[in-house]
Each structure stands twice: as C-alpha cells, then as structure tokens.
Amino acid sequence: MSSQAPESKVIPQESPLESQSPPIARNRFPLQRFLLLSAGAILLLSGFAIAAKEQTSQTPEPASNRAIAILPVQTTRIEPVTSYQVSRSYTGEVASLRASELGFERGGKLMAIAVDEGDWVGVGQELAYLDTSNLQARQQELLAGRDRSVAQLREMEAGPRVEAIAAARANRDRARAQLEELQAGARSEDIAAARAQQNSALAQLQELQAGPRSENIDGARAALNNIEEQLKLARLQRDRRQILYSEGAISREQLDQLDTEVRALQARLDEANSQLDELLAGTRPESIAAARARLDEADSRLEELLAGTRPERIAAARASLDQAQSQLDELLAGTRQETIAAARALVQQQEASIASVKIDIEKSVLTAPFSGIISARRLDEGTVVSQGQAILRLVEQKAVEVRIGIPASAISQLPIGSKWPIKIGEESYLARVASILPELDSSTRTQTAILILDSAVLGTVAPGQTARLELSQGIPTVGYWLPTAALVQGERGLWSCYALAEIAEAEATETIRAIKAKNPSTQIYIVEQRDLEVLYANGDRVLVRGTIQAGDSIVTGGAQRVVPGQLVRRATESFEF
C-alpha cells in the first residue's frame, strides 16, 4: 500500500535585521540607514554565493557511474487453493455400556446389604434385602381368608347336605309348634307349675331373710368337732406307721394310705369350718337379692299365663316360623348361580391380593440386572428407604464406550462401523463407531458419537476418564499458502509480504541494462509490498489472501533485509557484476 507524503507549506520569514532592529524614523539619520541597508545586501549576496557553491559540490553522479546493490532472496511461486484442512480435537468421556443406580421398587427398612464396593456380581445375584415381616403376616391372613372362601364355594357348588335340610326342617317345626302354643293360650298345668315355682321362690326368700337356725349352727359345730377328732386319730396312726416304715416293718403303700386319709380329713375339716363361718355370719345380701329376683320372675311368669299370650309374641313367633320356612325352602332349592359366581369372584380377588403380596416380597430382594462391579454403596443397614432411592451403583465391565460431542458439520466424517484412534491419557486406542445420537445437545450444540473400545482395554481404562478424538475438516475458501517467514509487519497491525515485480524495459536504467547484458539468464526484480489477511495458521505456514495473485513470486528468505522498491534477484540464479 502506497502512502502519500503530507503536503508542506512554506511560511515566509522576516529578515533577521528587520525583525531585530528597532524602528527608526524615516526622516532621521538617512546616512546610517543607507549604510545598514547596503551592508545587509552585501551579506545576503555572500550567503547565496556560498550556498550555490556547496550545492554544486554535492550533485550526484550519473547512474552509470555508481554501483547498484542487488540482493539475492529466496522466493516461492504461489498457487491458489480452494480449501484447507483443519485438525480439531474433540473431547469426550469414557463410560461403561451400562451403569445403573439400583434401588427397591417399594419402600421399607433396609435389613442387609450382601455386597460392598469393588465386588464383582453376576446377573440375578441378590444384593440387598428389605424387612418383610409385615408382608408375610399379611400373606398368611390372605391365605386363611382364601381357604375359607374356597371351602364355602365348594360347599355351594356341592349343594345343601341332608343334615342341613333336616336341621332346617326341625327348626321350622319347632317354630310352628311355638306359634301354635302361643295361639292356643296357657294350659292349666302350665299355670299350676308357674304357681308352684312362685311358692318355692317365696319360701326360699323367707328362709334367707330369717337367717340360719340355731339347730343348724349346733349341727355344723358338732360335725366340725367330729371331723377334728377323726383327724387327730389319723395323724397318730400315721406317725406310728412312719416309725414302723423306717424300721422296715410295713410297706410304703400302707404308709401312703394313712397319708391320703389325713389329707382327706383335713379337706373335710376346712369345708366344715367354712360352713360354720357362713352360718355364724348370716345370710349375705346378694343371696337375698338373688332369691327376690327369682320370686319376681316367677310372679311375672304366672301373671303372663293368667293374662294370656300377648299379640306381639304371637307376631314374633310367626316371623320366626316364616324365617325358618324360608331357610328350608332355600336349602331345598339349592344355591343360586349368582351366589356361586359371587363366591368364585371373591376367591379370585383374594388370590390376586395374595399374588400382589408375593410380588412385594420378591421386590424386597434387590438383584443385579446385569454382571458388573459395585462402584458405590450409598446406604447402610437400618436405613428406611423410599421407593426408587439409590442404594448401590452397578457398572458393567463387559465393554467400554466413549461418548464424544461432534459438531453437526463434522459428524458425517464418522460413518457407522468405522474405526478411529482415541487418545485416553497418554495412550491411544482404536475404537469403533457404534452409533450417532440424532439430537443436538442443547448446551454444547453438538451430536454425540458413541464409540466402542475393544474389550482388551478393560482394566487399563476406567469410566470417567477424558478421551480425545482428532478429526480433519475441510474448510472451503480461496487463498494461498505461504511460509511464516514470508510475513512482515504491515501498517495498522496488518500483515504483508514482499512480491517480486518485473522491471519494464522503459523504466530500466543504463546500469540495470548493463547488468542484464552481463547476466542474460538472471532476472532483476523490484520489491513490492502486498497487504494480506491471514485465514489460518498451521505450524510454519499460513493461509492468506489479499493483493497477491496466482503465479506471484513471494520473498520467503531474507525478507527482513529488503524494503519496498529495492532491486533483488533470486538466490538460485548465478550473478556477476
């Protein structure tokens, strides 16, 4: 880019004598003024003469009389490109094919955990247990109810038994007899029996109210004395036989007979004492109350018989007869199909409840859904867990996958089944593309590529490690590749390069023509500065575009030694002054 020199302005200056001399009146001292003006004019003429002489001594020599410096430079011929490859690294994470947070499908108290972190478990292996005591009790209750319902259903399906029909018929006959008896009224013998019962109850009440008689007390006391004498005699006989038994004169059986007799007499003595105490204490109030209640009942019974049967009792007896007849008819007709169907539905409902409880018991045992390693143990025994709460984390060790987010514009480079090197840590592993997730990640705006590592890496690669995938992507653009050594700092922070421009024959000086005549195979160029825009940098070369064209020769070596307008030649060509 050429720059225009700033326009200069000539500012007229006053003569030193005019600027420094004081003002003099024109009508005063005419001689001195004339002399001063003359001296100033002489001095000015002398200065002009000296300056002209020095300028004449510094006039440059003709171009044919001085040497021209033509620097050798290294160059390259540029050709346009329509695209360039960019190597980009995409970061992902190593993950297992399957990793599950295991928990129970129901809540309860955690009773036991059979595994610990780092343990390998097989598919179906039992891992933890919940408390099932309440479920087992509920299951037993449901089983008993189901058995009862099944028995009733079978009885309905078999029909009424002969014994049940006979019992229902007897109940009907008894109800009918009671009704007929009530309708016929009270019989004379019933009235006489009721009156006799009334008299007996009255006599008992009067006897209790009068209290015990003295002859009864004397008799009780005499009986007590008699039993005491018998007991003393029996004890003496037992003591004698004890001595004889210890001497071996009698058998053990004979001694036991007297012991039994002594205990029997003691029991009779206690009973006699109790009877005597009761007679001495007199009749108890509750006995009198009980006797009076029996008398009232007998009076009520007698009055009822004398008054005849009441209508409400006849109605109740008729209702009992109707109910007994209905039960007999139902048994004779057999169980209805609707009743059997309802009983069968009840059995099915109870069996479903039993199956539900059984499932809950089975769900109280946590099993491994696949083989793997326990990577985390979240809880301990005794914790009350909720439905779905994580207890263990199980990670599959069968294979390892890598998940990497790839931009949608580059995902087509990963066809399904292709293999790519994946760098994990300091090692590189070969992975196969298993699938590409169809949706973009909302946060990274990338598609997830899933790559499967070979099973041989198990043990050397752990889930959670960072993985990197290198991809080369073609970027369509028009530009030119240049080595970084060809770049020079341009104006306003931009980049430039130096291009070789041929010198037209009309612009060549006599010296240049002489050099060309001496070196006909050597081309002399003039350096031109071209402004650039750097599109992409890759190591020691850059992709640029700007005021350069295809076929231009660009200075790549020694660019720091040249300036725009300088004469140069290619370093590969021979040259002689």
pLDDT of residue 39: 56
Give 123-186 as a DSSP string.
TT-EEEEE--HHHHHHHHHHHHHHHHHHHHHHHHHH---HHHHHHHHHHHHHHHHHHHHHHH--
**Residue 93 burial (10 A CB sphere; 0-12, 13-18, 19+):** middle
Q: What is the pLDDT of residue 20?
A: 37
Residue of higher predicted confidence among 141 and 209: 141
Q: Strand 384-385 to strand 372-377: parallel, antiparallel, or no bridges (unpaired)? A: unpaired
| Residue 119 included in any domain | yes
Q: What is the mean pLDDT of residues 130-156?
A: 93
Q: Which of 476, 477, 478, 473 is nearest to 409 (CA)?
A: 473
- At 369-418, the pLDDT tens digits run 998 889 899 999 999 999 999 999 998 877 788 999 999 888 888 999 99
459 in Cβ contact with 427 (< 8 Å): no
Q: Say whether both 370 and 322 belong to one domain.
A: no
Identify the H or E element spanning 7: none
Does the pTM of the predicted model rise above 0.75?
A: no
Within-domain flag for 397: no
- Residue 30, in any domain of the structure: no
The top-scoring range by mean pLDDT among 154-163, 206-215, 351-360 is 351-360
> What pLDDT shows up at residue 358?
95
Give 366-417 as a DSSP string.
EE-SSSEEEEEE---TT-EEPTT---EEEE--S-EEEEEEE-TTTGGGS-TT
- Residue-wise pLDDT for 331-372, tens only, equals 787 777 888 899 999 999 999 999 999 999 999 999 999 988
pLDDT tens-place string over residues 211-237:
777 787 888 888 889 989 998 998 898
Mean of pLDDT values over 83-111: 89
List pLDDT tens digits, range 417-428. 999 999 998 889
If asked whether residues 150 and 168 sit together in one domain, one would say no
Contact 394, 366 (CB under 8 A): no
pLDDT in tens, 251-299: 888 888 888 988 998 999 899 888 888 777 766 788 888 888 988 888 8
More confident residue, 356 or 310: 356
**Does 92 score more than 70 pLDDT?**
yes
For 298, residues 6+ apart whose C-beta sits below 8 A from its C-beta are 194, 197, 198, 200, 201
User: Could you tell me the CATH number of the domain that includes residue 124?
Assistant: 2.40.50.100
Domain presence at residue 525: yes
Same domain, 75 and 113: no
- Of residues 177 and 354, the one with the higher pLDDT is 354
The encoded tokens of residue 133 equal 């005591």
Q: In terms of Cα–Cα distance, which of 502, 436, 378, 414 is closest to 75? A: 502
154 and 172 within one domain: no
**pLDDT level of residue 198 (50, 70, 90 thresholds):** confident
Q: Which residues contact residue 139 at a Cβ distance below 8 angstroms, ignoring those fewer than 6 apart?
A: 354, 357, 358, 361
Compute the distance between CA of residue 420 and CA of residue 407 in angstroms, rounded to an integer: 17
Whether residues 351 and 493 share a domain: the answer is: no
Q: What is the pLDDT of residues 498-530, one digit of tens each?
A: 999 988 777 777 777 877 777 777 788 899 999
Q: How many domains does the chain have?
A: 4
Q: Please, which pLDDT band fits residue 59 given cuts at 50, 70 and 90?
A: very low
Q: Determine the Cα angle at 377 with ends 375 and 379, to 5°.
A: 165
Asked if residue 145 and residue 75 are part of one domain, the reply reads no
pLDDT at 7 over 50: no
Q: Is residue 448 part of a domain?
A: no
19-54 per-position pLDDT tens digit: 333 333 334 444 445 455 555 656 665 555 554 444
Structural domain contains residue 563: yes
Q: Which residue has the tokens 């225009």?
A: 4
**Three-class SS of residue 215?**
helix
Residues 149 and 119 in one domain: no
Give the tokens for residue 143.
């089983």
Domain that holds residue 166: 162-185+312-334
Q: Are residues 484 and 526 in the same domain?
A: yes
> Do 125 and 136 share a domain, yes or no?
no
The partner residues of 553 in beta bridges, in order of sequence, read 77
What's the CA gap between 94 and 404, in Å, rounded? 9
**Residue at 284 is within a domain:** no
Average pLDDT over every residue of 78-94: 90
Predicted confidence (pLDDT) per residue in 66-78, tens digit:
446 788 889 999 9
Q: Are residues 116 and 149 in the same domain?
A: no
Q: Is residue 125 over pLDDT 90?
A: yes
Neighbouring residues of 375: CB distance < 8 A, sequence distance ≥ 6:
99, 117, 393, 394, 395
**Rounded Cα distance, 29 and 182, in Å:** 186
Residue 564 inside a domain? The answer is: yes
Mean pLDDT, rounded, of the chain: 82
Residues 108 and 170 in one domain: no
355, 390, 425 — which closes off a domain?
390
Same domain, 379 and 516: no
Mean local confidence (pLDDT), 168-186: 83
Residue type, 472: S
Residue listed under structure tokens 């050594």: 485
